[in-house]
C-alpha cells in the first residue's frame, strides 16, 4: 500500500539515504520541506520544497523499480501539492533531468521555461 507524508528534518539523513537528495539535504534552509512516498514502510520517492525568491522544488526521485508505476508519481505529486497549498504557495519553480519527470510535470500542468539552471557553490572550499 502506498502512503505519503512530510518528513521532519531529524529524519532526513536516514530516510533519504540512497537518494540524490540525501547527498545535500542538510544544506537546505530551515524552511525547506521534504515529502516522501512509502510502500509498506519503505521510502520509494522523495521531493523537496525549497523557498528561495520563489519556492523551488528539487530532488524529485523515485527508486528505479517503481519509476514506471504511475501511482507512485501521482502520490508524490499529490502530497507535494497538498503541502504547498497548506503553506499558501501559489506557484513553484522546478526542473527535470529525466523524461519520466518531464512527463509528470507536463501532466500536472507545469510549463517548461526556456532557461538553464545552475548550482554555483559560494564560499570556503568552493
In whole angstroms, what is the distance from residue 41 CA to residue 115 CA?
A: 38
Cell numbers describing residue 101: 519527470
Q: How far apart are the first and last CA of the chain?
A: 43
- For residue 124, pLDDT beyond 70: no
What are the backbone angles phi and psi of residue 121, rounded to the nearest 5°? -70, 130
Q: Please state the pTM of the whole predicted model.
A: 0.66
Residue 50 lies in a domain: yes
Instruction: State the residue range of the domain holding 100.
Output: 2-107
CATH number where 97 lies = 3.40.630.30
Which pLDDT does position 52 carry in this prediction?
A: 77
Read off the pLDDT of residues 9-46 as tens digits, 9 standing for 90 and up.
999 999 999 999 999 898 898 899 999 999 999 999 99
Residue 101 domain-assigned? yes
pLDDT at 126 over 60: no
Q: How far apart are CA 9 and CA 49, in angstroms?
A: 13
- Predicted confidence at residue 65, as pLDDT, reads 95
The C-alpha atoms of residue 42 and residue 113 are separated, in whole angstroms, by 34
- Contact, 81 vs 122, CB < 8 A? no
Quick: pLDDT tens for 50-109.
887 788 888 888 999 998 899 999 999 999 999 999 999 888 889 888 888 888 899 889
Amino acid at each position: 500500500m502506498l502512503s505519503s507524508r512530510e518528513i521532519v528534518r531529524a529524519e532526513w539523513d536516514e530516510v533519504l539515504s540512497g537518494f540524490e537528495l540525501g547527498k545535500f539535504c542538510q544544506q537546505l534552509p530551515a524552511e525547506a520541506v521534504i515529502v516522501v512516498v512509502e510502500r509498506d514502510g519503505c521510502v520509494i520517492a522523495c521531493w523537496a520544497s525549497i523557498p528561495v525568491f520563489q519556492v523551488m522544488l528539487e530532488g524529485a526521485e523515485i527508486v528505479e523499480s517503481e519509476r514506471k508505476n504511475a501511482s507512485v508519481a501521482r502520490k508524490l505529486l499529490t502530497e507535494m501539492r497538498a503541502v504547498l497549498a497548506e503553506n499558501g504557495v501559489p506557484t513553484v519553480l522546478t526542473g527535470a533531468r529525466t523524461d519520466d519527470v518531464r512527463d509528470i510535470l507536463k501532466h500536472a500542468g507545469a510549463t517548461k521555461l526556456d532557461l538553464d539552471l545552475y548550482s554555483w557553490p559560494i564560499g570556503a572550499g568552493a
